[in-house]
């Protein structure tokens, strides 16, 4: 068993867990997630959910299979998908008596001291009240221009920024891969899961592959960057499979599953 004294926990869930390959919502996974996080709050934990899936859900709503190249189209699809996601989260969490709130962020909000403090105050108020903040990048307005950098780029790094900003003890990242391996397990059958990583260095980054699924944006490199941020802030991160989100109970309890990044 691992020793994890985690009372404030950020959970990051990827598009691959929330959305089926056909573009439809994975209601079983979402229900498991809401059940598990509600259970953690009942145990006295403070929980923040960083949820991907807005564009994936929007594509499914519109019957599309490919993410369009044009930014305005992507942002319109995200607006549709974010509404659907929050509707389903509201339904499922309410089944377990759990209140939620939505926080949509852009990078400039986090960078600018006054707005950053306002956001942190909101987080603190919600957590103190036993509410689960559901965080996503504000895809409908976020852009990436030379003089106006508002995008985080991916929710892996967004989750680490949120976790370090609120002084979370633990970031649990659920992905389409069961942890960090010595080589790509999709290509090599003899790939070995690394259970514990104490330091994220250049050698570790050399093991990372490209991006993940066709609907998601993150790959292993973005997850290592998130782990690096958590380690530098004195926290810990676990990377594990999001196939069955109820695994979170076992991870928080200290069972050795996935990869633990802890100094």
* Residue 69 Cα to chain centre, angstroms: 23
201 is in an annotated binding site: no
Residue 149 CA to residue 142 CA, distance in Å, equals: 8
Tell me if 86 is assigned to a ligand binding site: no
Q: Is 217 marked as a binding-site residue?
A: yes
What backbone torsions phi and psi does residue 134 show, to the nearest 5 degrees?
-105, 120
1-29 CB burial, b ≥16 within 10 A, e <16? ebebebebbbbbbbbbbbbeeebebbeeb
Quote the DSSP letter at residue 217.
-
Residue 176 assigned to a binding site: yes
| End-to-end Cα spacing for the chain | 16
> Known binder of ligand: residue 139?
yes
- Which parts of the chain fold into alpha helices (H)? 15-18, 27-42, 54-61, 71-95, 107-111, 113-128, 155-165, 202-206, 220-232, 247-253
Nearest to 106 by CA among 159, 149, 49: 149
Residue 12, marked binder: yes
73-77 contacts, C-beta under 8 A, 24 or more apart: 74/139, 75/139, 75/140, 75/141, 75/142, 76/140
- The annotation status of 223 as a binding-site residue, yes or no, is yes
Residue 190, annotated as binding a ligand: no
Contact 1, 227 (CB under 8 A): no
Residues in binding site: 12, 52, 139, 155, 175-176, 217-223
Residues in binding site for substrate: 52, 139, 155
Residues in binding site for ATP: 12, 175-176, 217-223
């Amino acid at each position: 068993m691992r020793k994890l004294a985690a009372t404030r926990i950020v959970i990051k869930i990827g598009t691959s867990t929330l959305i089926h390959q056909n573009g439809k919502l994975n209601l079983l996974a979402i229900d498991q997630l809401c059940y598990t996080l509600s259970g953690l709050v009942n145990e006295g934990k403070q929980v923040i959910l960083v949820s991907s899936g807005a564009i994936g859900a929007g594509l499914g709503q519109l019957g599309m299979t490919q993410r369009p190249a044009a930014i305005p189209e992507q942002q319109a699809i995200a607006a549709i998908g974010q509404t659907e996601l929050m509707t389903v989260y509201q339904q499922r969490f309410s089944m377990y008596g759990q209140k939620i709130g939505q926080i949509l962020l852009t990078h400039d909000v986090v960078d600018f001291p006054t707005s950053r403090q306002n956001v942190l105050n909101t987080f603190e108020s919600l957590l103190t009240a036993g509410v689960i903040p559901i965080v996503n990048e504000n895809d409908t307005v976020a852009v990436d221009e030379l003089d106006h950098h508002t995008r985080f780029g991916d929710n892996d790094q967004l989750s680490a920024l949120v976790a370090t900003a609120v002084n979370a003890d633990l970031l649990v990242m659920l992905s389409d891969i069961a942890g960090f391996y010595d080589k790509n397990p999709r290509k090599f059958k003899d790939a070995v899961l690394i259970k514990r990583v104490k330091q994220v260095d250049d050698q570790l980054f050399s093991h990372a592959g490209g991006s993940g699924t066709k609907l998601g944006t993150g790959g292993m490199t973005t997850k290592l960057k998130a782990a690096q941020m958590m380690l530098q802030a004195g926290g810990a991160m676990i990377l594990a499979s999001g196939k069955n989100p109820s695994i979170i109970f076992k991870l928080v309890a200290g069972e050795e599953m996935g990869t633990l990044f802890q100094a």
